[in-house]
Each structure stands twice: as C-alpha cells, then as structure tokens.
Amino acid sequence: MAAPVIETCHVACCANRTPNVVSWGRGGTIAFGTCNSVALYDPQERKVVAVLNGHTGRVNAVQWVYKEDGAPECHLVSGGSDNRLILWEAGDGKFAQSVECKGHTGPVCAVDAIYTEDSKILVASSASDSTVRLWLCSDTKEAECLRNLSFGSGFMMDVSLVLLPGSGVPILACGGDDSRVHLYVQANNQFQKAMTLQGHEDWVRGVAWASTGGELLLASCSQDSLIRLWRLRAKSGPDTSAEDDHTIIKMKEDIFEVKERDVSSVFAVSLETVLAGHENWVYGVHWQPPFYKGGELQQPLSLLSASMDKTMILWAPEEGSGIWIEQVRVGEVGGNTLGFYGCQMSPDGSMIVAHAFHGALHLWCKDQDKEWRPGVVISGHFNAVQDLSWDPEGEFILSVGSDQTTRLFTPWRKQHSEQATWHEISRPQIHGYDMQCLAMVGRFQFVSGADEKVLRVFQAPRNFVENFANISGIPKQKLLTSSDSANLPEGASTPALGLSNKAVFQGDIVPKTNAEEEQFSSVSDQYQESYFHPLNLTDPVCPSTYWPCLYGHGFEMFCLVSDSTRTVVASACKASKAEHAAVLLWSTTTWRQLQSLPCHTLTVTQMAFSPDAQLLLAVSRDRTWSLWRRNPTTSEKPRFSLYARTGKDTAIHSRIIWSCDWSPDSKYFVTSSRDKKVIVWGPCILENSGDSVPPPEIKPCSSILDVGDSATAVAFCPVLCSDNSYLLSVGLECGRILLYRWSPGQEPAGGHDWSSCGETDASQSHALAVKRLRWRPRAGRAGQQNGKKDGQTDRESEIEEESSWVQLASASVDHSVKIFNINKQAL
C-alpha cells in the first residue's frame, strides 16, 4: 500500500464552553466537541486520533453509546447549535456519520443514548426550544422521533437514559430550570410521565443513572451547590404491614406503575442522601464505569462531581456505616477563571478529567501510592486562531488567536518513550484584546499585534530557555548560543498595580538567609515586587511561563512580518482610507519607526519579505499588490522604495487578496484571493545596474489556478521537489488544504504548469476557514532528530529518511492548530 501523502502529526484544540461536551468511552477514548467538530482523544498516546466533521454549528453535547459488556463503543451521538443530532458509527476503524436527527428548532444542549433490547439505539436530546425529543435509530440508518416532550417556557439542562431493572423498559430522567427532576417511562411505545422529584432549590444542571444490584441510583446536581442521590427499586406488591408501622423512621417513597405487555410492575423512588461539599454551582456528576469481576458486571459505588468552585470531588459510601462521604478533592487554587463545566472518569477509575470555562481539560491520575496527581493533557485555543509562526530553527510553533492568548507548542518525548508528542508548554502572552498577528524576530523573541494600536515585543527569559531544553531534549548550551544569552532576563514579574509584566535580571534575585525569612524589615519587604522564582520543569504540565514585555508601537494591528536577517519588522493596520493603509517599518535593534510605505487604499491583509530580505511584498483588500525594494544602506535613498505594483487596470484578482508568499529562491511570489484564483508572479531578478535600466516587468508566470473556493491562505514549501518544481499549499474557506506542484518551465497557456498532488481528506480538513499556512523552515519533522545520539550508520539512514519529510502547520477559525507531515517521495 502506498504511503499517504499527508498524515496528521498533531491537532491542538480544546473543548467547547458547554457543560455536556466531554464523554470518556469504555475503550479509553475521550470524545469532546471542539468548535463545529468532535475530536477523539487518546489520553494514553496523548494525541487526537480522529476529528469528526459534520455539524455546521458549535457542538454542544457529546455522548458515547455504552455497550452492556463494557467493550469499546461502536456508536457516538453529538448535538449542536445547528439544531441537529448526528449518530456516528465505527466502520473499518474509522467513525463516519450514520444517522442524522432533524426536528429541534433550537440548539441541542444535552444528549444521551442506550441500546434497547432489540439492539436499536434510543436517543434522548434536550434543546433550547424547551423540548426533549426521543429518537429510535435502527439499522436502516433512519431515525424515528418517538416522542416530543414539551416543557412550555422551561428548559431541560440534562437528560439520562437507563433500562429499568428486571425489564427492558427505558426510563428517562430530565433535570431542568424548574429545580425538579422529571421521570418518564416508556409504555406501549409512548413515554409517559412517571413522577417529579423535588428537593433542589435551584436549576438542576446534571443527572446520571447507575445500575447496582437490581436497583437504580440517580444522581442529580444543582446550582444550589448540592448533589442528591435517589434510589429506585422494584416493589414486590404493596407491603401494608410496614406501611402502617409508624414506629419505623424511614424516607418517604414515591410509587409509580409500569405496564409492559399487560404485566404491571410497581417501582418506588426514595431519597438516598444529600451530598454537600461544593461551594458553588455543581455542573456535572458522573458515576465510575462498571467493570467485570468474576464474570459479573459490577457497579462501583463511586460518584464524581465537578463544580464552578474549581474542584472535583470523588464521593463513596463509608465501609462500616454506608454514609456517603468525600474521598478525594482535586482542583485549581487561585486565579480569576471560572470553574469546571463537567467531569468524566476513565474506564478503570484511575484517571479523572474535568473541562473548564476556557475549554481546557484538567486531568488527574492515581499513582501507585493512591495519590492523585495532575497529568499531561491536550490543550489549544478556545476561539479562532488568527496567525502562527515557526521559530527560525523549526523546533516550535507560536500561535495567536481571538481567545486573547499567544501559545507555544513543541514536541516532547517522555523518558523511555520512542514517540515524541506535541504539547503546549507556554503562554507567552495573555492579553485583554483579541490577538491578530505575530512575527518571530529571533529564536526566542517575537512581536505581536492585537485589536489595539500597539505593537508588543516579547523576549524569552533564561528560565524559559532552560525549561524548554528540558522538555524538548535540545542541549541547553546549543539553545543559549543560538539566542543572545547575555541579555536574557532571568524571568518576569508583574508589579502589584501593573498590567504588563517586567523583566527580572540576575541581580534582582537575592537569596534570603533564614533570619531574613522570619522577619520583614518593612512593608515593601513583605510585598516584594519581584515575585519571580526560577522553576525547573521536565514535563509540559505548567503552561504559565509569561515572557517579559518590552515595548512596541503601531496602529490597530492586522498583519506583521519580519525579514530573514531579523533586522526589520513591517506592520500594517485595518484601514478604510489610504492614509491609514501605509505599511510601517520598525528597527529590531532600537524598536523605532524607520519608514512609512504609503501605496494601498484599503487594509493590507498580508505581507512577506523575500528569503534574501531584498524585497517586501504587500497584498491588500483593494485587490492589488505592491513590491518594495531594499536600497543599499550607503545610498541616500530611503531604506525601501516602491519597485512594482498592480493598478486597477493591471490587477487580475477581482476580489480581496487574502494571502501571499515567496518561493525559496526569491524569484517568484504567489497571491491567493477570494475570487478562488491562485497566481504566481515574477521573475523578481534584481540587477545592480543603477537607475538607468528600468526593472524587468513583473507579470503572471503561471496559468491562473482556480481552486474552487475562496483561497484564504497560501504558502511555498522552502524545500524544492525532486524535479526542481515548487511545492505549494493552498488553504480554503471551507477548511480544506490543497497541495500543488508548479513547474516554471512548462507552458502556462494550457494550465499544464500546475499539477495537483494531494489534499486533506474529510477528517484531516479544518471545519472552517484556514487563516494561515506555514511550512517548517527546514526538511524533516520537529522532535525526530533528538532521539539517537550514537550508532552513526543508523543515524545517517535516519537523517536521509527524515529529509524526505516536510511539515506544514495550519491555523483556522475552527479554533485548531494542525501540523501535517508530508512525504515528498509519495508526491
């Protein structure tokens, strides 16, 4: 079988900001909704194994359909803001859309599903149209709506299904904003209301059934900070003697009757206990999954709860008394973020996970000493990713997004592990404005722009470089020599009344003696400004290393770029007039403005310096491009002067030009536009013959490539193909990424100069528009070269094999950063 051209190396994403969006399967896979997709994450391998694209709105609820024998699941249900439910089915090791349930008139907020006795799938869904619907999905891939339960103007926050003990009759529990839990039972193929459980004093946020020894336990959690456990059991006829005996104190029982095939059964529901321990709204409850012991399925009496107080609690009954008590409490301390939206437990009960308001997953693992410790888990942006950049050596990626963060991703190889996995190890910038663009100005220095008129420059502290060396496996001395190590601050601290963090240098960190620690000579000693203390990290658990902010200047930012010599940064801002559409140039040594380049009449959407740093290309919303030439520093001319441009009459693009890039030899550049066209221009050959000779005309060198959709991103691969043709990637508004080879020698007239050589399939593609594509600046895959140190012959063959791979990073509106490995030999 031929090797795939494109394989997904890493997907950085996080869970949506909704309560029921994470589900942990018995097969060990965590499914969670991320933007409009469902991601399947393997916590052992620490990577996303699949992304399911099908919804056209945000995914709000995800639930595995558990099998009775505890085997890995074949079905998964998801509900979204597109008012639809999708049942996904596994086939040939991959999940594909099987059944679509349409009928809700509002976003779906909760789903649950079980297998009925005749192996059909019964699905319950709650939506903001104030209804709960029950669907029956059969093998014919059709969904039948069995019942539409209307709640007037109320909303049901969560639903849970289970089969009644001793019979195959489904019972549905709904928790709503009326502070009650409603129970519905199926009778003669119709769901009838059995009873209402009262007791909570605020909205019921979660309900969950557990089957234990012929009885059912129902856990309900609420915004009143309490969890209530209810016991449901079958009654063998009315026990009148006990009913009349008033000397026995026991909980009040509510009774309902179920008729199935003319056989009547009576069930009783009573309050088992009330669990108080959380200090804020309890958003989710989850029972420990059942397991087989001695050939019998056993349900452990262990309940996990998650709350807005940023803690998860594991509850279990005490051995002697049977009273439910708090066994373990884990969570986050401090900070100004909101708490947990939901919780899940691994099939063996050794790991627990919560998802938070900002989409982050928080994982805890039980070690050999039965202690719970934080674990490494996937993370990513929780809003659109606007821009990304590789570091000059291709060892890590920086990305910025509308979630107001800048994040750093790098490969990490755990000790005794063959495979390196990518992780977010730092958030160099957490801002108060939506981030828009960034440019690397060195190995450990970058400039970023947000929805504000200021450019901000950041430099990595020495403590970060040392920890980066620990995590990435790159020798520390090599990293320190590649950066200006003499000027690196030790770390960063935030002044008590300051918004920007400031650099802390070696002389600022004074070790204290024991006597000094015991007493403070003044108030300022007690509340010192330098709160920085060096950390020594070996795994990417703690992504909180802020980089010190230096300073910057600019307008309301839209795009940024730096040249290959790292001496000049160009910036541009949003503009509706020519006076604001000028490109500004900045010196990276003094951080002062060097020059203004006026040319365009509307926003400059993207810029690119040629690899030889001699030319600056800018493309604009006014549908034209401009090319600026760097003048020798000895000449009296300004640093950059206009070299070529397209006018209204010579422009080929008829809509906004979204993106541009240079070929690795600086001869050609490419533009891509909303008009679905991709065009290569050139040749850009600079003659040192003075002003007397006019520059050669720069015109389209390729045939016009129609990619079938708005081309929002384009990038030239820095490594040429084996036949010296150029490899390009094109990102589309629909989320697909296309690969093309362009041969400059071919006759462009017939379109033979372009050859398609691959594209992302449905599971690899983004769900929304691709904002940025960036190739790794060198051949090979990041994190692969740091493995073997000895065995020269193996090493040589390894290097040779590695050079056949190139890596492409993409940023998208669907909140994800994806890294693809592309095999040049398979092209």
Q: Please write the tens of the pLDDT for every residue from 797-825.
A: 666 677 889 999 999 999 999 999 999 88
With b for 16 or more beta-carbon neighbours within 10 A and e for fewer, the 592-624 pattern comes to: eebbebebbbbbbbbbbbbbbbbbbbbbbbbbb
Residue 473 · residue 789 · CB < 8 Å: no
Task: Note the pLDDT tens digit of each residue in 634-645.
Answer: 777 788 999 999
Predicted local confidence at residue 491, as pLDDT: 66
Q: Average model confidence (pLDDT) for the chain?
A: 85
Q: What is the pLDDT of residue 541?
A: 45
pLDDT of residue 543: 39
- Distance, in Å, from the CA atom of 86 to the CA atom of 80, rounded to the nearest integer, reads 9
pLDDT digits (tens, 9 = 90+) for 20-31: 999 999 999 999
Strand partners, 772: 811
Distance of CA 279 to the CA centre of its chain: 29
Q: Lowest-confidence range among 19-28, 180-189, 746-755?
A: 746-755
**Per-residue pLDDT at 690:** 53
Distance of CA 14 to the CA centre of its chain: 3
Looking at residue 25, its pLDDT comes to 94
In 3D space, the residue among 612, 774, 583, 584 whose CA is nearest the CA of residue 684 turns out to be 612
* pLDDT of 517 higher than 60: no
pLDDT confidence of 473, banded at 50, 70, 90? confident
Question: What is the three-state SS of 429-489?
Answer: EECCCCEEEEEECCCCEEEEEECCCCEEEEECCHHHHHHHHHHHCCCHHHHHHHCCHHHCC
Q: Which two tokens stand for residue 497?
A: 């009344």
For the chain, how far is it from start to end, CA to CA, in angstroms?
Answer: 14
* E strand residue ranges, 460-582: 491-493, 502-504, 557-562, 568-573
Mean pLDDT of 453-478: 84
| Residues 815, 511: Cα–Cα separation, whole Å | 43
Selected residue with higher pLDDT from 323 and 243: 323
493/497 Cα distance (integer angstroms): 12
pLDDT for residue 791 is more than 50:
no
Q: Please tell me the predicted confidence (pLDDT) of residue 245.
A: 58
What percent of the chain is modeled with pLDDT above 90?
54
Between CA 779 and CA 288 the distance in angstroms is: 47
**814: closest CA among 80, 50, 21, 33?**
33
pLDDT of residue 178: 92
At 492-501, the pLDDT tens digits run: 666 555 556 6
Q: Which of 84-93, 291-300, 309-318, 610-619 has the lowest mean pLDDT?
A: 291-300
Contacts of 32 (CB under 8 A, 6+ apart): 15, 16, 21, 22, 23, 38, 39, 41, 62, 355, 361
Q: Residue 204: which of 231, 227, 183 has the closest Cα?
A: 227
Q: Residue 114 pLDDT more than 90?
A: yes
In degrees, to the nearest 5, what angle opens at C-alpha 710 toward C-alphas 709 and 711? 105
Handedness of CA 778, 779, 782, 783 (dihedral sign): negative
C-alpha of 726 from chain center: 32
pLDDT at residue 525 above 80? no
**Residue 48 clears pLDDT 90, i.e. is over it:** yes
pLDDT of residue 244: 54
Q: What tokens appear for 561 in the block?
A: 């770029």
Please say if the pLDDT value at position 558 is more than 80.
yes
Residue 219 has pLDDT above 90, yes or no: yes
Of the listed ranges 21-30, 57-66, 263-272, 726-735, the one predicted with least confidence: 263-272
Residues facing 84 on adjacent strands? 102
Give residue 633's pLDDT: 77
Percentage of the chain beyond pLDDT 70 is 85
**675 has pLDDT over 70:** yes
Whether pLDDT at 475 is above 90 = no
* Chain segment 604-613, per-residue pLDDT in tens: 999 999 999 9
Q: pLDDT class for 520, splitting at 50, 70, 90?
A: very low
Asked if the model's pLDDT at residue 2 lies above 80, the reply is: no
Q: What tens digit of pLDDT does each residue of 370-413 get?
A: 899 999 999 999 999 999 999 999 999 999 999 999 999 999 87
Q: What are phi and psi of 790, to 5 degrees?
A: -120, 180
| Look-up of token digits 């805890």 | 364
Q: What angle do CA 208, 213, 216 make, to 5 degrees?
A: 30
| pLDDT band at 129; cut points 50, 70, 90 | very high
pLDDT in tens, 319-357: 888 899 999 999 877 766 789 999 999 999 999 999 998
Reply yes or no on whether the pLDDT at 669 is more than 50.
yes
Which pLDDT belongs to residue 768? 95
pLDDT tens digits for range 720-736:
888 888 999 999 999 99
Region 471-484 average pLDDT: 78
Model pLDDT, residue 794: 58
Residues with Cβ within 8 Å of 109's Cβ and at least 6 positions away in sequence, in order, are 18, 19, 20, 60, 61, 79, 126, 127, 128, 155, 157
172 vs 134: CA distance, rounded Å: 9
